[in-house]
Chain A
Amino acid sequence: MKILTANRLTDGEAVWLARDGIWAEGIEDAETARDKDGEARLEAIGKAASEANQVVDVNLIDVELLDGGIVPLRLRERIRAAGPTNRADLGKQARPGTGPAA
């Protein structure tokens, strides 16, 4: 299973392509692709968004569903989704209503 992630051009914020086609600031809103067709569709949207200068560094990443939540397989992406490991008061993990880092 894969999702599409990038950084927003203007401020570098880590974002994920969400189900309604917008770039969400939380991984929980990401749209998942379960097959090659789905991956190709996400990549096409990412390519278009990159060319439209909305986002940079667009990548398809591997994830799994754990307890209903989207969890990246790679540590790098888990940290991106949560925030700095040495500052729990910063990044996504610091948003109101957000639990501890994955």
Chain B
Amino acid sequence: MYRYDEFDHDFVRARVAEFSDQVARRLAGEITEDQFKPLRLMNGVYLQLHAYMLRIAIPYGTLNSKQMRMLAHIARTYDKGYGHFTTRQNLQFNWPALSDMPDILADLASVEMHAIQTSGNCIRNVTADHFAGAAADEVADPRPYAEILRQWSSVHPEFSYLPRKFKIAVTGASRDRAAIQTHDIGLHLKKDAGGMLGFAVYVGGGQGRTPMVAKKIRDFLPEEDLLSYTTAIMRVYNLYGRRDNKYKARIKILVHETGPEEFARQVEAEWDELRNGGLKLPEADIRAIEAYFEPPPLADRPEGDDALRAARLDSRSFGAWLDQNVTTHRHPDYAAVTISLKGIGEVPGDASDSQMDAVADLAERYAFDEIRVSHEQNLILPHVARADLKAVHDALVDIGLATANSNLISDIIACPGLD
């Protein structure tokens, strides 16, 4: 997975220091709420009905055990012992005190995490297929491109005050598990006839009070043009998106009102000005980012077939879990495990601090230290040897996370809404 370089560390540390100072000045009464509100929103801090809420970015939903344990620590130390995993593959804490924010953000920075751009009218956390790097039907891992978009869009001066929030999703498989057509921009990674990687580009999808399916405005965009073309889309939106009515301000309204063909024409015209400029992605840079997402070394574990056959006969509940929550992996001896956060009668997407710690332990022991958050608000162990599935299942039973309902009707994707 991606690891911070010195620039990233310095940038996040500087932001923590800056926001800590802003919090201190607010608490001391040196700045007003009107002055402070846009600053706290830039750092993921909302004021909701019952308390403040802090939304933490989990880029493309990928995190390691150390990071998950830190989230558990924050839940236990500063909140009420739980967190809420979101449809943007992020995590929200619903009860933190404003006075604790500097300590929380410093703790997060110590494990290469932050809350920057998780609110406000900017480009939000870029999401990706939660089985990225593991899926059998994948053309290529979408996360390097999500990471490139994350780096490009972080505190981008031109796109920090958009008409409204902006969400991008990337999938690298033929089956769209990232729900790209419900996003402002959806990118479908694919290969052209010559085997070159690129994207089908969809624009103008969304949910909420005006649900719309995104329209395809380009069938194939070479990977090197990802940032220049995205910039062209953002510029058209930034120029023509409505700012007079927040309910009409998303790009889906602009695409709908302008018409997909005319919108695409405007983007292409803008892109003509940009495509041969400094935003063209060098091949070496793409491959360098890609190297961060090298899959773990997966040794052959053929003993899993016999072990599973026996265990399935032995336990109906294990069999149901295998059928529902275990997904085919590109390596035949491995599987991707969906840990349902949709226990019957439980709040969808919530996990307690002890459950987070236990999932971190499982990831460390059985899944190459990797965890994903799905936009469906479940957790994923992307690389588990089939021979270890029974042990993982039994451990999940112990912590109340073995509900065999992935993709069934009780696997509810829920917005907290008024609450």
Contacts and interface: CB of A to CB of B under 8 A. Distances in A.
B99 A10 contact: yes
A54 to B, nearest CB: 10
A12 B26 CA distance: 13
A9 B347 contact: no
B347 A86 contact: yes
B49 interface: yes
A11 B99 contact: yes
Contacts of A80: 49-50
Contacts of A86: 347, 416, 419
Contact of B97 (A12, A14, A50, A87): A12
Q: Is the interface of B mostly helix, strand, loop or mixed?
A: loop
B55 to A, nearest CB: 14
Contact of B419 (A50, A53, A57, A85): A85
Interface string A31-64: 0000000000000000000101100110000000
A12 B52 contact: yes
A29 interface: no
A74 to B, nearest CB: 10
Nearest to B347: A86
- The secondary-structure label for the interface of chain A is loop
Contacts of B95: 90
B301 interface: no
B50 A14 contact: yes
Given A53-B29, A56-B33, A75-B418, A11 B49 contact: no
A12 B47 contact: yes
Contacts of B418: 75-76, 79
A76 B97 CA distance: 22
Interface in B34-86: 47-52, 80
B97 A11 contact: yes
Interface string A75-91: 11001100111110011
Interface residues of B, number: 21
Given A53-B29, A80-B49, A12 B347 contact: no
Contacts of A76: 49, 418
Contacts of B47: 7, 12, 56-57
Contacts of A53: 26-29
B29 A14 contact: no
Contacts of B80: 90
Kindly name the residue among B27, B50, B94 whose own CB sees the greatest number of chain A CB atoms within 10 A.
B50
A11 B95 CA distance: 8
A91 B95 CA distance: 10
B50 A91 contact: yes
Contacts of B50: 12-14, 80, 83-84, 90-91
Contacts of A11: 51-52, 97-99
Contacts of B99: 10-11
B233 to A, nearest CB: 35
A86 B342 CA distance: 13
A12 B50 CA distance: 7
Given A75-B418, A79-B418, A90-B80, A12 B33 contact: no
B82 to A, nearest CB: 9
A67 to B, nearest CB: 24
Nearest to A14: B50
Contacts of B27: 9-10, 53
18 contacts: A7-B51, A9-B26, A9-B27, A9-B33, A11-B51, A12-B47, A14-B49, A14-B51, A53-B26, A53-B28, A75-B418, A84-B94, A84-B419, A85-B419, A86-B416, A86-B419, A90-B50, A90-B95
Interface of A: 7, 9-14, 50, 52-53, 56-57, 75-76, 79-80, 83-87, 90-91
The 7 closest A-B pairs by CB, nearest first: A11-B97, A12-B52, A12-B51, A53-B29, A80-B49, A56-B33, A86-B347
